[in-house]
Amino acid sequence: MAASSLISELRSTLAEETARIAQEFASTGDGRRAVAQRTRVIEDILQRLWREFISADTGGPQNFALIATGGFGRGWLFPYSDIDLLFLHADRGGEEAHQASIRQFSQELWDLKLKLSPASRTLAECERFDANNTEFTISLLDCRYLAGDHALFARFHGKLIPKLVARESKALLQGLAEVTRERHAKSGDTVFHLEPNLKETPGGLRDYNVACWLAQISVMSKLGDWPDASSLRAPVRKQLDAALEFLMAARCFLHLRYGRDDNSLSWEAQDEAAARKTGAGQAADLTAADWMRIYFGHARAVQRTVTQLLEEIPEAWSALRRQFQGWRSRPSSPDFSVVDGMIFLQQSSSLQDPEMLLRLFHFMAEHGLKLSATTEHRIEQALPGLAVTPPRGAELWLYLQETLLQPHAAEALRAMHSLRLLTLLLPELKPIDSLVVRDYYHRFTVDEHSILAIESLHRLKQSQSEWDQRYAELLGELEDPQLLYLALLLHDTGKGVAGSNHVKSSLEIAGNCLDRLDVDAEERAMVLFLIGSHLEMSAQLRRDIFNPETVAAFAEKMGTPERLKMLCLLTYADIKAVNPEALTPWKAENVWQLYISSANYLSRSADQRVHGDGGSDKLARLRSLAPVTGGKFKDFVEGFPQRYLRVHSAEEVMRHMAMAEEFGHDKVQVDLKRGRHWYELTLVTKDRPSLFATLTGVLAAWGMNIVKAHAFSNQAGTVVDTLYFTDRFRTLELNLSEWQRFKQSVIDVLAGEADLDGMLRGRQRSEKAASIKVVVETRIDFDDQSSSTSTLLQVVAQDRPRLLHRISSCLSQQECNIEIALIDTEGQMAIDVFYLTSRGRKLTAELQKKVERALREELKGLEGR
């Protein structure tokens, strides 16, 4: 009858209009228009069905209205989105009366294959707020009249909703904020997914809506009424308009492509979107990576807005933040102030000074606070000026290092990156900005991956897992962790360059960066080593890591324990940042196992000797630095352990050689300098019994604490001992004249012209016992296998003043000669490795036992002193 012909008419209209909209979208790419058009088409259908089944007059019946809510209410109906409808009744009676006709109405819509999301409520029910269903109340914020009793709608819209929102604003904001944070956390709190979901991933359409709702609710709660367009923050709207255009176009594209409400930007979808230039206007041809960059740019803007609002609206604060609301303690700085956990700049034009900007991010990295919206705005304004003369050189490197070392470095880096400051300071990062590299393993873009790797290391300190604690200890032992962080930041820059070997490209790019930062030669070598070898450890995992040859080869490539530690941590961080599950216990265990085998190998293989004619890079470099000395060079270097060349730079070796030249004047050559972390004493002299014990004795007598040491000797019996120490009583720091006196003291004691025992007794009397925080058990291990000529002795003990002197004296007394010493201290644990001989040979089993007994006696005696 009339009904069925209406239905078939509507069906064909719907089909025609849908096809027309799709076609128009295909040619114009205008998502906004497509969405608005579909809204009108559906509205039309609803109104006609209303007239057919509910009331011939669209303005009736009384006390019953049809209202569009949610996306439909906003006028956004994507090709396959649900249609959110509210059947509003004045009272229960009305609801029951219309039940049958509503059912019919809905049935027809289902028959038209339109997906409804209907709700039926009375006014009273709407007024009641259900904290478990904040979504429903929020969907009312976008309500719009479709058909039915105008007066009823006026009451609903004009009075009920504003009052409800004003009354429940706190709960609404809290609920919305919580749900949003949960959703963000599920996505790792980042927009930079390789295959994002346009609706749910941070920076997507859901976030855009949340931003609008947050703003709307807080304004409504103050006004007690609907806001007009001008009271909603204009800057917010403008910034996000472009993003909205793009996202709408992209979502329409996806719906039409999949033929359903699927919002995932798979790789294939990205390819197609790029080919069609969806949302990108008249741009030149785009690759999928280019198109994704545009997407990420918009997503970032949306995410920043949402995050800002979540930070600025007190009711939207997380529970944790609310706890600290009343906290008085605020980090103090003359340049910045902290209000409600956000950073504000003190003076109005201070960003003219680029240093201020660097200090700002250092501050951020130190305290883990966020920037306020006004601060971000001012930074954006300052950027063009900064781009003309960007900071560079040693000054920039200094700030960068300090920032990288702070516990919240990753957050600061992300903020800098999203404000486009990071790529301004380090243009080497531009090629990997928002770069999508397709592989099934990685979850995030290359830049996010690098920052996440840095974050993984900082997070180690708080982790409870057994594995993480081991790696955390290792991190604490590093001398120059800032180099590791810099290497992580730059290690994948090569992925932005076409070609298959990204390691090589990363090295080139990093080289340029290090030049620009005026990084010194040693630091530069370390960073390039790390970047060049960053896949090395993972590669080894595919071999048999329990095979001594594999371990030896890998350890040789590393060369020194410091480099090995850095690479181990870099590997940990790199894998951890691939995706949340990548670092399985299986992997963590394998990496650790390889690390300790290699570390042990390095201690046990220190005595492989150098041959003056040898062809290593280091030797070649040395020869080129000393062309004149010729034969003398060969004689000097011959017989030193390989480790000697690895631990000392070419310049240092040259200096040692020069010192050895002076033996004619002075048999004992001493050099003292202030190093990066410690003081450095270098002794070059001819070997003799008890040399090492005596030397360490002098330092002990002066109250110096030896942290690290190397003792090596060459074929000709020349000894080069390097001691790295801290000046416990600040003797050297406070008195320049003491430097000379100290050096002379070493020379005098070694020449037999000063009484070492007397000096030591004097020191002992004036000292108090050191406090022991971590008890370290004494361990003494002998190893006869690793070296062909010496017996290895490893002593692990509680670090105490004069420890090294006592150990080496004891060894001397037992007539052991120290061929090589590798001394290290970690926290309160001293780790001392000695290569010993007695009468030119390895230690007999009997002598080993004697030595062990004597050492244990000696170490017991030092307890409590």
Partner 1 sequence: MGRAVRTSAKREYTSKNIMTKVEAVIQNSKLEAVKSALQEIGVEGMTVIEVRGHGRQKGHTEVYRGREYSVDLIPKTKLEVVLADGMVEKAVQAIITAARTGKIGDGKIFLTRVDEAIRIRNEERGEGAL
The sign of the dihedral angle between the CA atoms of 587, 590, 595, 598 is negative
Residue 705 C-beta: closest distance to partner 1, Å: 19
Contacts of 210 (CB under 8 A, 6+ apart): 176, 180, 306
Count of residues that interact with partner 1, criterion CB under 8 A: 27
Residue 787 C-beta: closest distance to partner 1, Å: 17
Cβ neighbours of 760 (radius 10 Å) = 17
Residue 5 C-beta: closest distance to partner 1, Å: 42
Is the Cβ–Cβ distance between 750 and 744 less than 8 Å? no
Q: Which tokens sit at 200?
A: 């749910």
Q: How far is the first Cα of the chain from the last one, in angstroms, to the nearest whole number?
A: 106
Give dist(CA 833, CA 856) in Å, integer.
Answer: 16
- Out of 112, 160, 223, 541, the only residue in the binding site for partner 1 (CB under 8 A) is 541
Is the Cβ–Cβ distance between 760 and 806 less than 8 Å? no
CB nearer to partner 1: give 584 or 813. Answer: 584
CB nearer to partner 1: give 495 or 806. Answer: 806
Choose among 557, 522, 560: nearest CA to 710: 560
CB nearer to partner 1: give 688 or 779. Answer: 779
CB nearer to partner 1: give 263 or 791. Answer: 791
**Which among 155-163, 289-297, 406-414, 579-587 is the span making contact with partner 1, rule CB under 8 A?**
579-587
Residue 599 C-beta: closest distance to partner 1, Å: 6
Q: Which tokens sit at 98?
A: 């219309």
List 825's β-bridge partners, or say none: 830
Q: Are strands 679-686 and 718-727 parallel, antiparallel or unpaired?
A: antiparallel
Matching residue, tokens 């480099």: 563
Binders in 581-600 for partner 1, by CB under 8 A: 584, 586-587, 589-590, 592-593, 596-597, 599-600
- Out of 582, 796, 854, 862, the only residue in the binding site for partner 1 (CB under 8 A) is 796
Cβ neighbours of 600 (radius 10 Å) = 15
Residue 544 C-beta: closest distance to partner 1, Å: 4
What phi-psi label fits residue 224: left (phi over 0), alpha (psi between -120 and 50 degrees) or beta? left
Give dist(CA 570, CA 591) in Å, integer.
Answer: 11
CB nearer to partner 1: give 380 or 589. Answer: 589
Dihedrals phi, psi of 493, to nearest 5 degrees: -60, -25
> What is the widest separation between alpha-carbon atoms in the chain?
124
CB nearer to partner 1: give 285 or 777. Answer: 777
The sign of the dihedral angle between the CA atoms of 538, 544, 545, 550 is negative
Binders in 598-617 for partner 1, by CB under 8 A: 599-600
Binders in 798-837 for partner 1, by CB under 8 A: 826, 829, 831
Per-residue mark of binding to partner 1, 732-771 (x: CB under 8 A): ----------------------------------------
Contacts of 242 (CB under 8 A, 6+ apart): 298, 301
Choose among 75, 15, 69: nearest CA to 39: 75
CB nearer to partner 1: give 502 or 565. Answer: 565
CB nearer to partner 1: give 30 or 479. Answer: 479
CB nearer to partner 1: give 545 or 719. Answer: 545
Per-residue mark of binding to partner 1, 627-666 (x: CB under 8 A): ----------------------------------------
Residue 487 C-beta: closest distance to partner 1, Å: 24
Residue 699 C-beta: closest distance to partner 1, Å: 23
What is the chain's alpha carbon radius of gyration, rounded to the nearest angstrom? 36
| Cis-peptide into 162, omega within 30 deg | no
720-744 burial code (b ≥16 CB/10 A, e <16)? bbbbbbebeeeebeeeeebeeebbe
Residue 575 C-beta: closest distance to partner 1, Å: 13
CB nearer to partner 1: give 545 or 732. Answer: 545
By CB under 8 A, is residue 546 in contact with partner 1?
Answer: yes
Q: Which tokens sit at 429?
A: 């990062």
CB nearer to partner 1: give 220 or 795. Answer: 795
Residue 589 C-beta: closest distance to partner 1, Å: 6
Residue 587 C-beta: closest distance to partner 1, Å: 8
Residue 836 C-beta: closest distance to partner 1, Å: 18
CB nearer to partner 1: give 521 or 596. Answer: 596
Per-residue mark of binding to partner 1, 766-785 (x: CB under 8 A): ----------xx-x-x----
Q: Which tokens sit at 516?
A: 């620009």
Residue 865 C-beta: closest distance to partner 1, Å: 21
Distances (CA, A) of 566 to 27, 477, 546: 55, 10, 21
Locate all alpha helices (DSSP H) within 662-773, ordered by sequence: 691-701, 731-734, 737-750, 756-765
CB nearer to partner 1: give 715 or 794. Answer: 794
Residue 593 C-beta: closest distance to partner 1, Å: 6
- Out of 715, 794, 812, 828, the only residue in the binding site for partner 1 (CB under 8 A) is 794
Site residues, partner 1 (CB under 8 A)? 541-547, 584, 586-587, 589-590, 592-593, 596-597, 599-600, 776-777, 779, 781, 794, 796, 826, 829, 831
